[in-house]
Amino acid sequence: MASEAAMVETSDASGADGWDWPTIALFVGCLATWVFALMLYGSWALPAFILLVLALVLHSSLSHEILHGHPFASVRACTLLGLIQPGLAVPYMRFKRLHLAHHMDANLTDPYDDPETNYLDPAEWAALPRWQQRILHINNTLAGRILVGPLIGQWAFVTSDWEQIRQGDREVLSDWIVHVPGVVLTLVLVGLSPMPIWVYLLACYGALAILKIRTFLEHRAHKRASARTVVVEDRGLLAFLFLNNNYHVVHHMHPKVSWYALPALYRSRRAQYLARNQGYVYRSYGQVLAKYLWRSKDPVPHPLWQDGAE
């Protein structure tokens, strides 16, 4: 089993030089699309806006690939590539640190130790004012997550980081400082294009909204850590924009496998993956939208959280 796992972890198309060429090609195409969308705005505003949103979603997914070691074997090269974030909202180094912490599967959905969870400690939930509970209830529907989720998530993220900076966390401060040059460069380039800054910022929000579709049900509360991670058997536009991260249990089991290898890996062992996550599977994002657009999948307070332990 150990040798098989090692083979899986290297089952991508990286060249002998350690460069992941399909990911590099996609990254170049994504940036070219980003530039094209900015320039197209002067003639075709709505198509340009839509194209820009899609490019920003794809870039976020590529950033996820970067922090997992693609497309370069060099950590320094990957970091340099990741530091410029045209989506503006999340510093790459903060994304990397928090996401790698999220990959501690034993902590998935933990209200304190999983930095990407949406569950709250029931005691914390009970102490919230009624209006905040109402907003979080809305945010727990897929429609709410798309419409107001980016605002709620960004507010929670920034305020948490700001509190850590106030308490003297230099690592968090450093992560935000090295994010600033990329933000400035992005806004300068947008300022030189026909697209107004406010339209660009709206596109950034739209990209975050689409990404919320992916994260909406990636993990569920379950006594078994192995059963907390979903599979969405989608092969359409959203699956491409998310770089097959809809095969999420496969990604968590093999985080070093490149995006383009995940579907075949899942198909080759479908029964094993679904046995592992105890059938936590959806046929497509269409099924997810139909089922949860107007209703919650989960409660906001963690349903299994008792006295500080699941």
| Residue 149: partners with Cβ closer than 8 Å, 6 or more residues away | 139, 208, 209, 212
Q: What is the pLDDT of residues 273-292, one digit of tens each?
A: 999 999 999 999 999 999 99
pTM for the structure as a whole: 0.93
Helix, strand, coil tally for the chain in percent (to 5): 60, 5, 35
Length of the chain: 310
Q: Enumerate the domain spans of the chain.
A: 2-292
Residue 59 token pair:
């870039």
Q: What is the pLDDT of residues 96-121, one digit of tens each?
A: 999 999 999 999 999 999 999 999 99
Q: What is the pLDDT of residues 152-209, one digit of tens each?
A: 999 999 999 999 999 999 999 999 999 999 999 999 999 999 999 999 999 999 999 9
Q: What is the pLDDT of residues 61-81, one digit of tens each?
A: 999 999 999 999 999 999 999
Measure the CA–CA gap between 127 and 133, rounded to whole angstroms: 9
DSSP 27: H
